[in-house]
Amino acid sequence: MESAAATELAKHVLYTFATILAAGTVFGLIARKLKVPDVAVFLLVGMLLGPEILGLVNIKADSALNQIILIFGASYILFDGGASLRLTVLKDVWITIVILATVGVLITGAITAVAAYYVFSLPMVVAALLALTIASTDPATLVPVFKQVKIRDRVAQTVMSESAFNDATGAIATFATLGIAMGQSEFSLGGALIDLVKQAGIGFVAGGMLGYLAALLIAHEKFGFFREVAPVVTLMAVLGAYLGADGLQASGFMAVFVFGIVLGNKDALGFALPAAEQEAMDDFIQTTAFIMRMFIFILLGAQVDFGLMNKYLGGGVVVVVIFMLVARPATVFLCALPDRRAKWSVKEMLFMCWTRETGVIPGALAGMLLGLGAPEAKLIASVTFIAILMTILIQATTTKWLAGKLGLLEE
């Protein structure tokens, strides 16, 4: 009987995967024809296929399968984003990236917490918990958008880099606040800063070392033993970077992003693949990242609880509007203006204010809060999904239009 049940479960999972692949492929092509970011289309498709409408995709948010897809998918998309960055560009804007990814998360959280406090009449610590859950931007959304919409190089790379680095800040701040909200600890600024530096630093070093090793083994003239299977090496290394850093209690997402940066800039390290093999690896990475996007965002859409969202819809929309139009613009201007070296123009900062979507990581944090029985976890989860829907459907789909208006598009 157990064997029969396991077989039926396996068939159900395969059916779900086939449905996601079929729908994702068709609607991904439609998104490309319409010239809109495919993540927004995948999110809508997921809502259509989910249990609340057609019932074709039903993978629970707290299931092991869902967590595997989210973790590996987000990791591979982060790796892809890191590999597309260039060190020559990053060296001019690193100050802005660091400030946005640390202080910026706290500024966004503080402004949004005040809004949630007044709109929902929450205790301030619970309002802060909600705000910090959604404060970080989402590389799994932003990387694909900038792959499809060609924006001025330093602007795109700043936004993508900061979105990868701020996840650690958002997660640490969220769980520090959760401990206070549940009466398990008192806030310690020094402890939180030490934890942030440790997680980010170890993740950075682990990703850098693994990236160098991977570049050596696939592109070195003498030691490139894995040159012919370079695409497979990226899969192994992404898993190794995430799990290795996580095992050291560091940021796995930081590790895979830095791994991508090092591997993507291997020419600067003296390693180079032949053109045909480099093209094959690039094609493999692009296809795999596309598959990960469709799975992540179709699943996120399928897990939207319409009943719960409807309960908190009015207040949630108000909080998210303040979050989008006040908190995040204030964050960008306060964090980018002090960076005299970067010399940001007003148009560049306005664009960065708008391209700050919420997505996978805040969604995962909200799911964890539900599982841990956090105060007002259902309200927090609802507002998080409202933020995901609004930022992706409104901001991601208007990225190209705004870039054109501000003169930041590149052919």
pLDDT digits (tens, 9 = 90+) for 331-351: 999 999 888 888 899 999 999
Mean pLDDT is lowest, of 39-53, 162-176, 309-323, for 162-176
Q: How confident is the model at residue 113 (pLDDT cuts 50, 70, 90)?
A: very high
Return the residue matching tokens 């910026």: 104
Sequence-ordered alpha helix ranges (H) in 152-274:
153-181, 189-219, 230-247, 252-264
Return the residue matching tokens 């931007």: 137
pLDDT score recorded for residue 411: 64
Q: How far is residue 370's CA from residue 365's CA, in Å, rounded to a whole number?
A: 9
* Element of type H or E holding 387: helix 377-390
pLDDT score recorded for residue 188: 61
- Please give the average per-residue pLDDT across 248-272, as a whole number: 81
C-alpha R_g of the chain: 21
Global pTM reads 0.79
Instruction: Name the residue ranges covered by the structural domains of the chain.
Output: 2-405
By the 8 A CB rule, do 136 and 362 touch? yes
By the 8 A CB rule, do 13 and 269 touch? no
Q: How far is residue 39's CA from residue 392's CA, in Å, rounded to a whole number?
A: 8
**Structure token digits, residue 180:** 């206070």
Return the residue matching tokens 């170890």: 202
- Please give the average per-residue pLDDT across 196-216, as a whole number: 83
Residue type, 241: A
- Please give the average per-residue pLDDT across 19-25, as a whole number: 92
| Phi/psi-derived region of residue 344, left when phi > 0, alpha when psi is between -120 and 50, beta in every other case | beta
Q: How far is residue 243's CA from residue 89's CA, in Å, rounded to a whole number?
A: 29
pLDDT score recorded for residue 192: 65
Helix and strand numbers, DSSP H then E, in the chain: 19, 0
CATH 1.20.1530.20 matches 2-405: yes
Torsion, Cα of 17, 60, 134, 344 (10° steps)? -10
**Structure token digits, residue 261:** 């940066």
By the 8 A CB rule, do 127 and 97 touch? no
Kindly state the percentage of the chain with pLDDT values over 70: 95
pLDDT score recorded for residue 204: 85
Angle of CA points 60, 119, 103, to nearest 5° = 75
pLDDT score recorded for residue 245: 85
- Please give the average per-residue pLDDT across 93-112, as a whole number: 90
Flag whether pLDDT at 176 surpasses 80: no
Reference 84, options 336, 289, 261; nearest CA is 261
User: Which residues are registered as beta bridge partners of 409?
Assistant: 151
First to last CA, the chain: 60
pLDDT score recorded for residue 350: 93
Q: How confident is the model at residue 174 (pLDDT cuts 50, 70, 90)?
A: confident
Q: How far is residue 72's CA from residue 325's CA, in Å, rounded to a whole number?
A: 32
